[in-house]
Structure 1
Amino acid sequence: MHKTPITIAIAEDNRFALKACLSKLSFYSDLVISMTAFNGQELLAQISKKQIDLILMDIQMPGMNGIETTVLIKRQHPQIKVLMLTNFDDDENIFKAIMAGADGYLLKEETAENLRNSIVETLAGGASMSAGIATRVLDLLRNPLQPKADDMQNYGLTKREVELLALMKNGLSYDQIATSLFISYGTVRKHIENIYRKLKVNSKMSAVDIASKNKLI
């Protein structure tokens, strides 16, 4: 049984996502938010001045992302647990987070109760993961990611992003894609944003056109 209260740091650059997370945690008197940070640099600059039990770590942040930050946290403060809290459920990010030393991997769509239970479970030595993530981890163990020599030709797209592009090519809406891949609408939008950024486009038609011409889909 962990001592109370549990002191938490949150690394999150999106103010709406941060507000949603704080709202979920506010239901539980044994969870105390000791600090929040906009990115990895800010977190590392402050954390040595605080008594922190666990960090809720976003992945995509400006400057220093959550995976890079997790590597440094585990090196400098190995006693602190790191629970990834992200919109990304693709194999690449899951694999990189685990290799960085993350103690668990949650999606932001988790309920307040599941988030709280995951924090307690992680501090008790468990490896808490959202539904579906554990299955992907087992798949990664069975079929490890292989480095791609043609990453530049693939524009750095992840396997999940290519899956989304294929569904977009077939005319599926965001809602239909979310249902097909068992992910949230918000997660679909985040993946689409990253696809557009990597392909340097701003429309579905342009994204699908580039992917088709490069035989990605």
Structure 2
Amino acid sequence: MTVAIVDDDNKCTKRTIDWLSKYPHITIVLTAISGHDFLLKQHKVKEKIEVVLMDIGMRPMDGCATTYVSKLVNAQTKIIAHTTYNDYEMVRNCFLLRCRWLCNEAFCRTRTTPSH
């Protein structure tokens, strides 16, 4: 499985890379520090990105806007919103823009919650 990590917090990105590196079937093909950075880099990746771990609270382009644009480019990519904050409106908006899952460290450390 090919994965992209989009997060403006370098420590969080490093933790995610360390965690995912334990799984031999997962290959991280891209990291980006913002939504804008991801949109610029995704076209340069040779492998098809299957899953994007998308931080929601980034600036200047947040995860909701990035999800919207990314889905226009490739509707098949699965996007997992992840955040350490409990911002209900931002999480809600991300699901409305077709994020498929939420991983919220403030809510639960290891469990993911599916969208409906």
Shorter-chain TM band: 0.7 to 0.9
* Fraction of identical pairs, as percent: 28
Aligned to 1:110: 109
Amino acid at match of 1:46: K
* Structure 2 SS opposite 1:48: helix
Which of these residues, 16, 23, 43, is aligned with residue 11 of structure 2?
Answer: 16
Which of these residues, 23, 41, 51, is aligned with residue 54 of structure 1?
Answer: 51
Aligned to 1:41: 36
Amino acid at match of 2:49: I
Q: Provide Cα deviations, 1:171-215, integer angstroms capped at 9, x if missing partner.
A: xxxxxxxxxxxxxxxxxxxxxxxxxxxxxxxxxxxxxxxxxxxxx
Mapping for residues 45-84 of structure 1, pairs under 5 Å: 45-50=40-45, 51-84=48-81
Report the structure, 1 or 2, having the larger strand content: 2
Give the alignment's TM-score, normalised by structure 1: 0.48
Between the aligned partners of 2:65 and 2:55, the Cα distance in structure 1 is 11
Q: Runs of at least 4 residues of structure 1 off by over 2 A?
A: 88-91, 108-111
User: Residues 56 and 91 of structure 2 are in contact (CA less than 8 Å); yes or no, is this contact kept in structure 1?
Assistant: no
Aligned to 1:149: none
RMSD over aligned Cα atoms:
1.8
Between the aligned partners of 2:75 and 2:85, the Cα distance in structure 1 is 24
Structure 1 unmatched runs, 5+: 1-5, 115-127, 139-217
Matched length: 112
Amino acid at match of 1:88: Y
Aligned to 1:30: 25
Q: Provide Cα deviations, 1:132-180, integer angstroms capped at 9, x if missing partner.
A: xx7xx79xxxxxxxxxxxxxxxxxxxxxxxxxxxxxxxxxxxxxxxxxx
Between the aligned partners of 1:18 and 1:27, the Cα distance in structure 2 is 15
Give the alignment's TM-score, normalised by structure 2: 0.87
Which of these residues, 76, 97, 104, is aligned with residue 94 of structure 2?
Answer: 97
Aligned to 1:119: none
Between the aligned partners of 1:24 and 1:58, the Cα distance in structure 2 is 16
Amino acid at match of 2:72: R
**Structure with bigger gyration radius:** 1
